[in-house]
Amino acid sequence: MQVAVCVKMVPAPEQWSQIAFRDDGSLQREGIELIINPVDRNALEEALKIRQALGGTVTVFSMGPPSCLERLREALAMGADRAFLLSDRNFAGADTLATSKVLAAGIRKEMPGFDLVLCGSASIDSGTAQVGPQLAAHLGVAHLTDAFSISVGEQNCFQVRTVASHGYFITKLRKPALISVTRQLNKPRIPTLFDIVASCNKEIIILSSADLNIPKSESGLEGSPTKVRELFFPPARRLARILEGSIEDRVEELLRQPGVAGVLK
């Protein structure tokens, strides 16, 4: 089984208060510690489990600046066989469409015979949850989102359970396919010291826009139809109201308030 895993490097939550934004609305990452987007680690863990059960390879793809290299080493320490960093000044400022195009180009070039692409359902910094489905569209494969259970069944089908509003879906998905996963899927492993030492002998290859044959007009800020107009904190409004009268009257009044009945069960 040839599995590709897409990971995004995001600012460490404990340093979010130090994040600044540029005029174009993009993140100023300099000096901020990066971590692997937490749910992307679940995607990688699942890929490693599949490899353990069925054999094959696990290859990690990430788009980002050179500072992401160290974190990719962490993915290798978890057990990935190889990693590609898709990095070019032209890729800077990409929205989800431009990002997914670059990831698709990387996977097509380095893993044309992939069976499965796994990615996290959403990133903790921008949280759009769009890259997975867009990547599937670029690769021309079927996809499912928000998986919390994946098993490989007969005839090369994946049996996937995905989150629904009042239950879950069970879907059979024929390979090649893309699945975005949730934190409930598994518990990502902690690299052992042996894994850490071994990871330093594994290769991380940097691919540029020239390597991927992506014109500047289709990548980065230039290739991004989404433009950030303004960044602001939504105003938090809290309304306090003191109810009066007897206990019974106050409870009845309280239950008449919109949204309260569903909360007080």
Partner 1 sequence: MDFQPTIQQDLLRKAVRQFAEDEIAPLVNEMEINDDTPLDLVRKMGDQGFMGVTIPAEYGGTGMGHLARMIMIEEVGRISAGMAMALQVMQMGAGMVIDSGSAAQKAKYFPSLAQGKILVAPAITESSGGSDLEGLSTRAVDEGEYYSLNGRKVFITNSHISELAVIIAKNEGGAKRDFSAFLIENGTEGFRRGRVERKIGFHGCITGELIMENCRIPKENLFGDKGRGLAVALKGINDYGRMGMVGIALGLMQASLEAAVKFARERVLYGKPISNLAPIQFKIAEIYADLESSRLLAYYAAWLIDQNKKSDTQVSSAKFFSAEAALQCTRKAMDIYGAYGCMKDYPLERYCRDAQLLVPADGTNDVMRIIAGRNLAMKR
Interface with partner 1 by CB under 8 A: which residues? 70, 73-74, 77, 190-194, 196-197, 199-200
Is the CB of 11 or the CB of 191 nearer to partner 1? 191
Smallest distance from partner 1 to CB 75, Å:
11
3-state secondary structure of 130: coil
Smallest distance from partner 1 to CB 65, Å:
17
Is the CB of 75 or the CB of 139 nearer to partner 1? 75
Smallest distance from partner 1 to CB 8, Å:
17
Which residues, in sequence order, are CB contacts of 51 under 8 Å at separation 6+? 1, 3, 57, 58, 79
Q: Are 82 and 207 in contact (CB under 8 A)?
A: no
Is the CB of 200 or the CB of 247 nearer to partner 1? 200
Q: Are 62 and 35 in contact (CB under 8 A)?
A: no
Provide the CB-side half-sphere exposure for 217 (13 A, CA).
0
Smallest distance from partner 1 to CB 76, Å:
9
DSSP state of 18: G
- Taking phi over 0 as left and psi of -120 to 50 as alpha, with beta for the rest, 196 belongs to alpha
Amino acid, res. 104: A
Q: 31 exposed, middle or buried (CB, 10 Å; 0-12, 13-18, 19+)?
A: exposed
Is the CB of 194 or the CB of 232 nearer to partner 1? 194
Smallest distance from partner 1 to CB 69, Å:
9
Question: What is the Cα gyration radius of the chain?
Answer: 22
Smallest distance from partner 1 to CB 60, Å:
15
Is the CB of 106 or the CB of 191 nearer to partner 1? 191
Element (DSSP H or E) covering residue 54: helix 38-54
Is the CB of 74 or the CB of 88 nearer to partner 1? 74
Provide the CB-side half-sphere exposure for 222 (13 A, CA).
9
Q: Are 59 and 204 in contact (CB under 8 A)?
A: no
Is the CB of 89 or the CB of 187 nearer to partner 1? 187
Smallest distance from partner 1 to CB 70, Å:
6
Q: Are 44 and 16 in contact (CB under 8 A)?
A: no
